[in-house]
Amino acid sequence: MTHPPDACPECDLLLQPSRPIVGEKIVCPRCGYLLHRPREQSVERVLALSVAGLILAGPANFLPLIGITFLGNSHEGTLWAGTAGLFAEGFWLVAVLVFLSSILVPLLNISLAFLISLHLHFNRPNRLLAHWMRWLQHLEEWAMLEVYMLGIIVACVKLSDTADVQLGFGLYAFVALLLVNVMLASSLDGYLFWQRIAELRRKLHGQG
């Protein structure tokens, strides 16, 4: 059985598909673009990291990130309350951006990674796998937890001179969630995932 050639995304050179082993990498012979680098136990790693991400999502969104004490008055801020506060103050566009990039998209990203890796780990065909994988690849560009983390750091530095700032458990969960997202992106072997999805699709059609 012959397979159609792949194309380099940088220079469009047509290349015959190949299956490198872990430790090897495929680069374009024309432009040197890294085409594929297999990752060991990618499905299992993504499944474990996505489970950890789903567990951390609740505390990161709803538990206090920081507590501020100023002139005897104390106030705690959560990620969800901050987004709701922006809506209440009329900054609805900023609130929508914060909600999408810091809450909804990361949660969807982790949920899709969990669903896909769970099906692949147990070799369970599903007609939606290819759609989930496309959405996952698109959403990766919109999850911007590190930008919100930078904003929290700047706020803590500025407030530390005028108020007593305490770090909440939600902030630790948020940092852990950020690390999980980074590890998730680096552990996901897109080439392997698409290959396994194609195999399960053939299995599904064979059963049908």
Q: pLDDT truncated to tens, each residue of the chain (208 aa)?
A: 344 456 676 676 676 666 666 556 777 777 877 666 667 788 999 999 999 999 999 998 888 887 666 666 666 777 888 788 878 888 888 788 778 878 888 899 999 999 999 999 999 989 999 999 999 988 876 666 666 666 666 566 665 666 666 777 888 898 899 889 889 988 888 878 888 888 888 877 765 5
Q: Three-state DSSP class for 114? A: helix
- For 85, 108, 182, the CA distances from 99, given in Å and listed in that order, are 11, 12, 19
Whole-number pLDDT of residue 119: 95
| CA geometry: angle 198, 181, 137, nearest 5 deg | 35
The C-alpha atoms of residue 112 and residue 176 are separated, in whole angstroms, by 19
The C-alpha atoms of residue 39 and residue 3 are separated, in whole angstroms, by 23
pTM tops 0.85: no
β-strand partners of 146: none
**Any residues with CB less than 8 A from the CB of 185 and at least 6 apart, and which?**
140
The number of angstroms, rounded, from the C-alpha of 153 to the middle of its chain's C-alpha atoms is 21
Whole-number pLDDT of residue 111: 95
Whole-number pLDDT of residue 35: 66
Sole residue written with tokens 């049908």: 208
Whole-number pLDDT of residue 2: 42
Taking alpha carbons only, the member of 102, 185, 113, 96 closest to residue 144 is 102
